[in-house]
Structure 1
């Protein structure tokens, strides 16, 4: 069973973030440039929110905001669910499903050390299942390890 730490080891180390005062347009430009679906909103080293494509799509046009002048803090999701590096992929999948979220910041000793996405979690679940299937096939056929 994979852990969050193992997922992070296979990802680039960068964690993209903006300040609460960053405009929505600037955040969207960063997200487009880095090909990511969300950015963390940080005040110094403190995580204060997350801003995603979903926040933009559901709040800017519907609430009559302007992307050019609205700060991210006005539209970000303030209740951010986080995980630790020791947590399992299955725990992440359960949390993401229950809370209907696609991004989980990874926090260790109060510091953000990474972010896992639903894509990362699905990839890890598929990899874990493939490994389990291979082990079962070896066991059933009698060609297991050490024989």
Structure 2
């Protein structure tokens, strides 16, 4: 049974975060510099506060005519984001993302942020697992 923990073991636990009192412009700079689609919003104590996504920016800043330099992340972030634990199965995780129309999920263990998975992470993991199985079957058949 493959879980989010398996993905985090491969990709690592690096999570890019932003403070809720940062400007949207500052958050966008972090997204651009690191080629990301989202940032986890955390308070100084590291507690999950929300998630800031490109979708939040497009819908809550651009379409509303706001200024990214004057608007704070806390005013446009998605509060109470959906999150998962490391032990959730990958299939269940994909189902959750599809049902909620989201592409990024913070991963919490015992209330602590331990990672972030994207739909791309899940798809890549599944593709690599299928390739591994195919290679093993080919080796078994040819032996």
Q: By the TM > 0.5 criterion, same fold? A: yes
Inter-partner Cα distance in structure 2 for 1:46 and 1:65? 27
Q: Which runs of 5+ in 1 are unaligned?
A: none
Inter-partner Cα distance in structure 1 for 2:61 and 2:72? 11
Inter-partner Cα distance in structure 1 for 2:133 and 2:94? 18
Inter-partner Cα distance in structure 1 for 2:2 and 2:124? 11
Inter-partner Cα distance in structure 1 for 2:107 and 2:28? 22
Do 1:39 and 1:52's aligned partners in 2 also have CA atoms closer than 8 Å? yes
Paired residue total: 142
Inter-partner Cα distance in structure 2 for 1:91 and 1:135? 26
Inter-partner Cα distance in structure 2 for 1:99 and 1:59? 19
Moved over 3 A (4+): 131-139
Q: Which runs of 5+ in 2 are unaligned?
A: none
Q: Secondary structure at the match of 1:120?
A: helix
Q: Secondary structure at the match of 2:78?
A: coil
Q: Which has the larger radius of gyration?
A: 1
Residue 7 of structure 1: aligned partner: 7
TM-score (norm. length: structure 1): 0.87
Q: Deviations over 1:90-124 (max 9, x none)?
A: 11111111111010101001000000011100011
Alignment of 1:1-147 (within 5 A): 1-43=1-43, 44-134=45-135, 141=141, 143=143
User: How large is the RMSD of aligned CA atoms in angstroms?
Assistant: 1.7
Do 2:49 and 2:79's aligned partners in 1 also have CA atoms closer than 8 Å? yes
